Structure 1
Amino acid sequence: MMTQILGCCNRYVQGYGEIKRLKSYVSWMGRSFLVIASKNRLRDLKNTIAEAMDGLKVTFVQFDGQCSWEEIHKIVAVASNCGAEAIIGVGGGKVADTAKVVANKCGARVIIVPTISASDASTSSVSLVYQDNGTIEDVIAFPVSPELVLVDTEILIHAPVRLFVAGMGDALSTYIGGKVCQEHYFDNHFNAKGTHTALAVAKLSYDMLMKYGVQAKKAAEQKVITDAFNAITEVNILMSGMGFENNGSASDHCFYFGTLALTEREEYVYHGEGVAFSTCCQLVMQGASNEELDEVYQFCLNVGLPVTFDDMHLSNLTEEEFDIMTKAVLKENFIHHHPFEVTYEMVYGAYKTADAIGNMYKKGGSLI
Structure 2
Amino acid sequence: MLKIFGAPSRYIQGPGALDAVGQYAALFGRRAALVIDSYVHGVLGPKIQALCAAHGVSLAPLIVEGDLTPEVIDGLRAQTRPADIEMVIAVGGGKSLDAGKAVAKSSHCHLITVPTVASNDAPTSKNYVLYDAHHNLLAVEHMLFNPTIVLVDTAVIATAPLHFFRAGLGDAVSKKFEAEQCQRNGGKNMYDGTPLLTAQLIADGCLRTLLADGAEAVAVAGTGKPTPAFERVVEAMILMSGLGFESGGLSIAHALTRGLPKISGVATALHGLQVAVGLLVQLDLESRNDSMLADLTQWYAQVGLPTTLRDLGAAATPSDAELTLAADLSLKARHAANFDRTLDVATLADALRRHA
Q: TM-score, normalised by structure 1?
A: 0.92
In structure 2, give the amino acid aligned to 1:4.
K
Deviations 1:97-144 (A, max 9, x none): 111111111122111100111011111111111123211222212221
* Equivalence for 1:115: 116
* Equivalence for 1:84: 85
Q: Structure 1 stretches (4+) deviating beyond 4 angstroms?
A: none
In structure 2, give the amino acid aligned to 1:239.
M
Q: Percent identity?
A: 27
Residue 254 of structure 1: how far off its partner (Å): 2.3
Partners of 2:214 and 2:161 lie apart in 1 by 16
Residue 81 of structure 1: how far off its partner (Å): 0.8
Counterparts of 1:144-155 in structure 2, within 5 Å, are 144-155=145-156
Rate the CA distance shift 1:298–1:107 in 2: closer, same or farther, 3 A.
Answer: same
Partners of 2:222 and 2:82 lie apart in 1 by 43
Provide the secondary structure at the position in 1 that maps to 2:252. coil
Counterparts of 1:1-368 in structure 2, within 5 Å, are 2-53=1-52, 54=54, 55-262=56-263, 265=265, 267-314=267-314, 315-355=316-356
Residue 221 of structure 1: how far off its partner (Å): 4.3
In structure 2, give the amino acid aligned to 1:15.
G
Deviations 1:324-350 (A, max 9, x none): 222222322221111312123321232
Rate the CA distance shift 1:289–1:145 in 2: closer, same or farther, 3 A.
Answer: same
Partners of 1:169 and 1:136 lie apart in 2 by 20
CA-based RMSD of the aligned residues comes to: 1.5
Deviations 1:20-75 (A, max 9, x none): 22122221101111101111111111111111112222221211222122222222
In structure 2, give the amino acid aligned to 1:212.
D
Provide the secondary structure at the position in 2 that maps to 1:28. coil
In structure 1, give the amino acid aligned to 2:49.
A
Residues 15 and 151 in structure 1, CA contact (< 8 A), matched pair in contact too: yes
Residues 64 and 71 in structure 1, CA contact (< 8 A), matched pair in contact too: no
Deviations 1:257-293 (A, max 9, x none): 322223x546341100010000000000011235011
Partners of 2:301 and 2:101 lie apart in 1 by 35
Provide the secondary structure at the position in 2 that maps to 1:41. helix
Partners of 2:204 and 2:98 lie apart in 1 by 26
| Greater Cα shift, 271-280 or 20-29 | 20-29
Rate the CA distance shift 1:96–1:214 in 2: closer, same or farther, 3 A.
Answer: same
Residue 152 of structure 1: how far off its partner (Å): 0.8
Partners of 2:60 and 2:271 lie apart in 1 by 31
Residues 121 and 238 in structure 2, CA contact (< 8 A), matched pair in contact too: yes
In structure 1, give the amino acid aligned to 2:13.
Q
Q: TM-score, normalised by structure 2?
A: 0.95
Residues 67 and 129 in structure 1, CA contact (< 8 A), matched pair in contact too: yes
Residue 76 of structure 1: how far off its partner (Å): 1.4
Provide the secondary structure at the position in 2 that maps to 1:275. helix
Provide the secondary structure at the position in 2 that maps to 1:191. coil
Rate the CA distance shift 1:299–1:282 in 2: closer, same or farther, 3 A.
Answer: same
Residues 29 and 109 in structure 1, CA contact (< 8 A), matched pair in contact too: yes
List runs of 5+ in structure 1 lacking aligned partners. Answer: 356-368
Partners of 2:228 and 2:139 lie apart in 1 by 38
Partners of 2:187 and 2:295 lie apart in 1 by 26
Partners of 2:42 and 2:242 lie apart in 1 by 28
Provide the secondary structure at the position in 2 that maps to 1:253. helix
Residue 171 of structure 1: how far off its partner (Å): 0.3
